[in-house]
Each structure stands twice: as structure tokens, then as C-alpha cells.
A and B are shown apart, each in its own frame.
Chain A
Amino acid sequence: MQRIGAFVCWCGSNIAGTVDIDAVTKSAADEPGVVYSAEYQYMCSEGGQLAIRRAVEEHGLTGIAVCACSPRMHETTFRKTAAAAGLNPYMVEIANIREHCSWIHKNRESATEKATILMRAAIAKLNLNKPLFPGESGVVKRALVIGGGIAGIQTALDIADAGYEVDIVEKSPTIGGRMAQLDKTFPTLDCSACILTPKMVDAAQHDNISLYTYSEVDEVSGYVGSFSVKIRQKARSVNRELCNGCGDCITKCPVKKANSEFDEGLSKRSAIYVPFAQAVPNIPVVDRENCTRFKTGKCGLCEKICGTKAIDFEQQDEIIEREYGVIIVATGFKPLSPERYGEYLYGQSPDVLTSLEFERMMNAAGPTGGVLKRLSNNEKPKSIVFIQCVGSRADAKKGKTYCSKICCMYTAKHAMLVKEKYPDIDVHVFYIDVRTPGKNFDEFYRRAAEQYDVNYIKGMVGKLADEDGRLRVIASDLLDGKQITIDADLVVLATAVEASPDVRALGTMLTASMDQNNFFTEAHPKLRPVESPTAGIFLSGVCQGPKDIPETVAQAGAAAVKALGILSKNKLIGNPCIAESNELLCNGCSCCENVCPYGAIEYTEKEINDHGNRNNRRVAQVNEAICQGCGACTVACPSGSMDLKGFTNRQIMAEVDAICRT
């Protein structure tokens, strides 16, 4: 028989304002197994914890029921208190009478009744609790970073500098990501490549960093401290060891018509290519879809002229299997395609560009050599219109529900860059609100408006009309309260930031939760912003939500620190609330194995001694290191052999009975 102590918390007026604490405490005293009950203003305070420890000692308690806030808040606190008092930490139950009760009810009487019922359920469960002992597992001292943009690079550098090995897996042929495509950065207008490329080189040269470019993560299994990952290194058709990066193959390649991904399709590249001059590694890739050799079997010119015999058309994808202690997701974003907003003529008129395309056009190494021109006729534009919030801040049916956060600033940047280079071009910006929270951000935007004469117009553009060879912008000027038209030569759409399209599959592989916009969810939006709820998975950069470069770099560092917190440990303490199989009851049906999201259940042939009756049976076994205690198997099991320690079927039913008892 348990000797239970019940402790009811006021939480100041948070609980006591709605729940009659005294009544709950008194009625707890009458519950089976309860030998002591008490209340306290703040149970989580040092005084509250001391009261619990004294009561354990004085009354010889074997279990503690705390009626307080959500177990997400202080379950750990009270488990530690129990341990300090000499109890097994799993002899603690929490009745959530705050979030589940006092905060959501107004009527004192019914709130008190509900609090009493929740208290009873916790005590009923506690009567069946048994001490549990967590297992330990080791930590592989190596980190995997998925994505090689500025977020991934920074995270990898920080981990590597701390002395641990890191692999970066990047799906494109080079690291650098979106930042490599940018011309200048706000709010300082410094050259993006000038500050990024040294970091790319650092990553490539770091002894602790291995780069896997043109590679993707194929498969992930395992758990924090010990993830097994299969990386698919796609066939480059170029031998990485032999290639010296001379670029002769690129010059000689007769195919010159493939769209350059790096220039957002605004320029053409050869079939064998490096994305840009400072690519890391500087090893070309054969784009097999566009290569004549792969399409028709003819050509092979690159192979003939390569001085180091590095071209290898027979090269196959290579699968690399490796163990990691932690995984950091840094998959970044892509700009939303504005084609669905047909009123803005994107894809219909060559003079309508996305901001990223415009960024490439303004870049000296870009498709026009940094010369601003209308792609319809190669003439210099006289008037440019920027449209903000294209696809952002929309109803879910019409676009992205969030503010993409960076567009106001990069549009101000674009406007200024145009004015700096071509003071005679008229620049108009249509905005709904100009959002500039950030250090020196509003000053930057004001500079565009005040010093550079950028014409900011409050109001959305309704439609572009292709009239007389120009783009007639039909819009609202909300401050004047009228419809206006502006004839523009170039229109730039500030398109929403969108999570990388293939990231949902990765999220599933990692069992890391994502929101409806395919951004990875953080474990706590305020207090654990760089951790995924899945242990050992960390989030770096825009994969978690739109952010600018300084924020991305800050988060990348934070993710590295959190990852190092695990890498620096030799042992991880597991969660003892995991599934176990009663082999006598197991009928070998595989239901549990099929529903387990972690692959923690295996079947083995085993001799079972059933009351002296020995036979060989196929039975389920739970890998304690992998099981996360989700309980899916216990629900799926038809024979009732699967049970979850700490949440056994008996315990759950006891809670239900207690709740239903009148």
C-alpha cells in the first residue's frame, strides 16, 4: 500500500482565484492511500519544495501528488524534489489544475469540482506507480548539418571550432545557399559574396568539417546520441579526387542552353558547370538532363579534353552510411513563385521580375553584368515599380498567412541600389505597411525615402496591364484615397519566403514536427527556439521561419551551442517511460511494429515458457534505447501485451475510473 502525500498549489491567485484550495486539500485527505495533504502558495518555490521533502520524511511518504500547473512546467522540478527526499523520481504525479482548470473556468464552484476530480485521478494513478529507472546511452561525437547555406555553414563552423566533427550535406553542387545569390546586404549595403565566401572557404578548409555537396539525406534512423543516416552523394560524373577545377570542360561544353539555377533562370549555363565562380567545392557537375552525352550517347567532349581524366560518365550515386549524435536542420527557403497571381503578369511579361531575380540582375557577376535593363528590349528602364507583400500576409486560400519579414528591408535596399547607380530612374514602392524592426532598419528605410527620393506609395497594386510596350501599374494610393496608374518599365515583386519544397519528406524522416507552412516547429516558441521537439534535432535559419542574415547567423550559433550540449556528454540519460512487451501475451501479429514511428520494435523467435508449456514463438521486443514512449503500440496491440511504463493500461483505467466516480 502506498503512503501518498497530496500537495495543492495556489499559484498565487492563478489557481486560488478560481479554485477553492482548502476544499481540494481536504478532500484529497480522504482519497485511498493518502496519509497527508497540504497546500502552499507556490509549490514550485524553494519553500514549497522543502515542505514536500519534510512531509516525505515525517510521514514516510512513498509517492507525491502535486496539484499545480501543467507537467510541462514543473514536473521535472518535483521529480528532483522527490529524488532529493530519497524517493524514486517517477513516484510523482501532477494534476494540472491550472491550464486545464483554473485558467479556463470562471465559476469557482465548478472549477473546484473539476480540480478535485483531476486530483483524484492523479492519486488513483499514483497508487499504481512503480519506481522506474532510466537507461543510459552513448553519444556519437559527430554532427550532421543538413543544408549548406549561411545557416548550415555557421552552425558547422561553430561546432567544428569547439572540437567536434561535422558533416554538411548540401543538395546543390556548392555550399553558399541563398546568400551567395545576393548582391548587397541590408542595412549596411556591403557585398554579400565578400562576407560569405570567406566563411565558405573556412568551412571547406576546416579539419573538422566534411562537405557532401550535390548530396541528399536518404534515410534517418536512431535517436539522440546515435542517429544512423544514409547520405546519397549524387553522381557528379566528375571524379572529385582527379579534378583540378581548371574549368576547360565548362568552356568547351557545346551545350549552352541550360537554365542557370544560380541566376534564377535569367542566364544560361553549360551542361557541365559550377554554379558560380567562387563555388565550393570548385568541382563541376554534369547535369545529366541537359548533357548530350547522356541524352544521345554522342559528344563526350569534356572527357576528351580533360587533362586529369576526371570526367566519369559511368559514375554512380554513392551511399554513405554514418552515425551522428545530433542533427541540425538548415534547409532554408525558396521564394514563392508569383505565377498564381496572374494579375502581376509574372511569366507573361519578361519585365516582371521577382526580387531574387532582380538581385541577380543588379549583381556585377549576374546575367546582365550588373546592368539594369528591360529583358523585353534590352533598354534601360526609366521607371521601376516595386510591389511588396506578394503572397505574404494572405488568407490561407490566397497565399502565405505570415509576414515574410525580410521584404520591406530588401525592397528598400533594391530601391536605393537603383537610385545609387541610376539617379535618373524613377523608383516607386507600393507597400501596405513598411515593417522595419531591427537595428538601424528604420533609419535605412528612411534613407531610401528621404535621401534617395524613392516614392513610397501606401496601397496594393491591383493589376499590371501590358500597354504600349510598358507596364501600366493600376494601383491604390490609400493616403490620397484614389486609384492611380503609373507606367513602369520594370516591375519587381517582393515574393513571400516559402520553406524549401522538399522539406516535408525530410521532416517525416527526422520525426521532427512542422507547421502548416512547412516550417520546422520549435520545442518551445520562446524558451527553446532552436530545438525541435524531437530530441537531438536542432533548427538553424529560415527552415524554422523567415529571418534575415544576422538573425540566421545568431540562430545558427545558438543551434550549435545546443548541439554541443549533447556532443560534450559521454552518456545521455534516457526516458524510462517506454513500452514493454509481455511475451506471454504477445501473439506475434506485428501490429505494434507497423505503427511504431521510431522503428523501436523488433520481432524474434524465442522459446516461451508458458506455465511449464514450452514452445517457440515469434514475439515483439522493444529496443529501449530507441523507444520514445509515444504509446502508439499499446493502443494498436490487440492482445494487450504492449504496455507503457509509467502509463500502464491499468494506470490509465484507474484514472478514468476515478474521474467517473461520483
Chain B
Amino acid sequence: MEYLYYPGCTLKTKAKELDAYAVKSMKALGVDFKEFDDWQCCGAVYPQAKDEIAARLSSIRALDEARKEKRDLLTICSACFHVMKRVNFDIASDIDIRTKANNYLELDIQYAGESKVFHFLEMLRDDIGFDKLKNHVVNPLTGRKIGAYYGCLLLRPSDVMQFDDTENPTIIEDFIRAIGAEPIVYSYRNECCGSYSALKNKDLVQNLSRNIINSAIQKGAESLITACPLCRYGLMQNDDLPVYYFTELLAEALGVK
């Protein structure tokens, strides 16, 4: 498949390594991708209210660009994936939102949700395949006990995200296995870390992150991986476990770090 790679705001600033390792890994894996050079921020949170049209427009621009390029939109940051996928769903399923958004954008051709949005992990699972990914691994992370942290944005709501089983997801565990490490399954891996309230309510983030990290430690995890810069920030508020971006470990395993 051919991808239009959408990095998003944080990957070009505080989470440069998430981006850099993703790009290196994609090259090592021979992924056909083109970086979206004129991207705009997705807005970071999905606008739930049906009348929030303007807040959806930047995502629609990216989705429309993917359509023009005849490529699938590839995201890494959990928030970008969440926002893009849900806005795309709205455009396809809610005629009111579609009409109003198109009226604003005045595109040459109406956008009606034609593009497909993928997360980097979905690309690994569905396009490359974890079995094949294993063959590319030159430096297996043998012996490392890694807990997958999913958080909320990748998974919920399941009827729109269709990413994995929301309560018992396995995609990141399969990824961990593919790069030669041992996945540690723990109960709080799909519980929210609360990080977006970090500016106003740091205590909440610390409490929730502690629950998550304790749950992971208790099952034997020595580190966590995530796809979300915001989650990583929140989880790092407790320094009991190192938290890595999954692309960093991927690049390491592929020998391109």
C-alpha cells in the first residue's frame, strides 16, 4: 500500500524521536510512503459536539490531501489517529457535518470520507504482517519485559476506531513479540492516564499514571511503550518505569536506531 505520512505537531517538536524512528523504520522495511509536507495540526482532541464544524476542518484538509494523492493517511500519534479517524467517520456518516464542512472548505470536489486512515501499528499488522516483520529484525530485544500501554485514544469508541478489541487488545503485544521481546499483559493498559488534564490537575494524572504503572510492575514489566506523546508525558510523571515510544524499539530491533 501507499501512504501519505502525517506526523502531527508533537512529532515535530517534543516527540521528534517518535517521528525520526518511524521514518527510519519505514525505510528499513521498504514502506512506500510520502511525507505530508504541508500538514496542519489535527486539533489534538476530537470535537465531540455535532455543531463544532471549524474544529474538524484541519483534519478534513489532511484527509482530502490523501484522497488527492491517492494514498492512505498514515498516522503515529494516538491523538492524530483518533481525531482523523473519527472526523472521517463523521464526514462519511453525518450528512449535516459533511455539508457544512464542505461549504466552509470550498474544495474542488466534495469530500465525503473517501480516504482511509491507518495507524502505524495497523500498517505493521495488516500490511507488512508481524510474521514478516520478525524476518526484518536484526537485533531482537530478547529478554526485555515490556508492557504495552494503549490508553484510550487508539481503542475507543470501538465502533468507529475498529483498531483492536477495546478491553483485551493484542496488537502492541504482538508487536512486542515480533521485535523479540516479551509482552507483559496487565489490566490497566487500556485505562486513561488522564494526561490531558495535566495543566490544570496534575494530581489526577499522577494518580491515574501510578495505577497504570503499578499494575504493569506487579505483572513484571520493566518498561512501557506507547504511541502517544501525551500519554508518555503523563506516565513519566511517575519515574518508576521507563516509557518509550514504540518506534524507538522498532528502530532498535531493525538495527537502524
Contacts and interface: CB of A to CB of B under 8 A. Distances in A.
When A and B assemble into the complex, do they touch directly, with CB atoms less than 8 Å apart? yes
Interface in B197-251: 215, 218
Contacts of B187: 463-467, 472
B166 interface: yes
B168 interface: yes
Contacts of A348: 168
Interface in A619-656: none
A468 B218 contact: yes
Contact of A342 (B167, B188, B215): B167
Interface residues of B, number: 10
B221 to A, nearest CB: 13
Contact of B166 (A342, A397, A465): A342
B52 interface: no
B32 interface: no
B127 to A, nearest CB: 26
B168 A342 contact: yes
Contact of A467 (B159, B165, B166, B218): B218
B216 to A, nearest CB: 11
How many of chain A's residues touch chain B, expressed as a range? 10 to 19
Contacts of B159: 397
Contact of B188 (A343, A465, A468): A465
Interface string A5-27: 00000000000000000000000
Contact of B215 (A397, A464, A465): A465
Interface in B156-178: 159, 165-168
B71 to A, nearest CB: 33
Nearest to A342: B167
Contacts of B165: 342
A375 B207 CA distance: 32
Interface string A464-478: 111110001000000
Contacts of B215: 465, 467
A477 B166 CA distance: 25
A307 B22 CA distance: 71
B152 to A, nearest CB: 13
A330 B125 CA distance: 46
B167 A343 contact: yes
A103 to B, nearest CB: 35
Nearest to A397: B159
For A342, A397, A464, A468, the residue with the greatest tally of chain B CB atoms inside 10 Å of its CB is A342
A343 B167 CA distance: 5
For A341, A343, A467, A472, the residue with the greatest tally of chain B CB atoms inside 10 Å of its CB is A467
Contacts of B218: 467-468
Nearest to B186: A466
Interface in A435-465: 463-465
Nearest to B167: A342
A460 to B, nearest CB: 15
A466 B168 CA distance: 12
Contacts of A464: 187
For B166, B167, B215, the residue with the greatest tally of chain A CB atoms inside 10 Å of its CB is B167
B218 to A, nearest CB: 6
Contacts of A397: 159
Interface in A344-364: 348
A471 B165 CA distance: 20
A467 B166 CA distance: 19
Contacts of B166: 342
Contacts of A465: 187-188, 215
B172 to A, nearest CB: 16
A343 B155 CA distance: 13
A468 B218 CA distance: 7
A464 B166 CA distance: 14
A342 B185 CA distance: 14
A413 to B, nearest CB: 29
Interface in B119-176: 159, 165-168
A72 to B, nearest CB: 40
Interface in A458-505: 463-468, 472
Nearest to B219: A466
Contacts of B188: 465
A234 to B, nearest CB: 36
Interface string B50-83: 0000000000000000000000000000000000
Interface string A376-412: 0000000000000000000001000000000000000
Contacts of A343: 167
B154 to A, nearest CB: 15
A44 B159 CA distance: 54
A348 B167 CA distance: 11
A397 B158 CA distance: 12
Contacts of A342: 165-168
Contacts of B167: 341-343, 463
Nearest to B169: A342
A525 B30 CA distance: 64
B188 to A, nearest CB: 6
Contacts of A466: 186-187
Contacts of A463: 167, 187
Contacts of A341: 167
A4 B51 CA distance: 63
A350 to B, nearest CB: 15
A468 B214 CA distance: 10
A386 B115 CA distance: 46
Nearest to A349: B187
Nearest to B214: A467
Interface in A321-376: 341-343, 348
A480 B218 CA distance: 31
A342 to B, nearest CB: 3
Interface string A288-320: 000000000000000000000000000000000
A397 B159 CA distance: 10
A342 B188 CA distance: 13
A102 to B, nearest CB: 39
For B165, B166, B168, the residue with the greatest tally of chain A CB atoms inside 10 Å of its CB is B168
B193 to A, nearest CB: 15
A465 B218 CA distance: 12
A159 B125 CA distance: 60
A100 B79 CA distance: 55
A343 B165 CA distance: 10
B156 to A, nearest CB: 12
A595 to B, nearest CB: 36
Interface of A: 341-343, 348, 397, 463-468, 472
17 contacts: A341-B167, A342-B165, A342-B166, A342-B167, A343-B167, A348-B168, A397-B159, A463-B167, A464-B187, A465-B188, A465-B215, A466-B186, A466-B187, A467-B187, A467-B215, A467-B218, A468-B218
8 nearest CB pairs, A to B: A342-B167, A465-B187, A342-B168, A343-B167, A466-B187, A342-B165, A468-B218, A348-B168
Given A348-B168, A465-B215, A467-B218, 5 more contacts: A342-B168, A463-B187, A465-B187, A465-B188, A468-B218
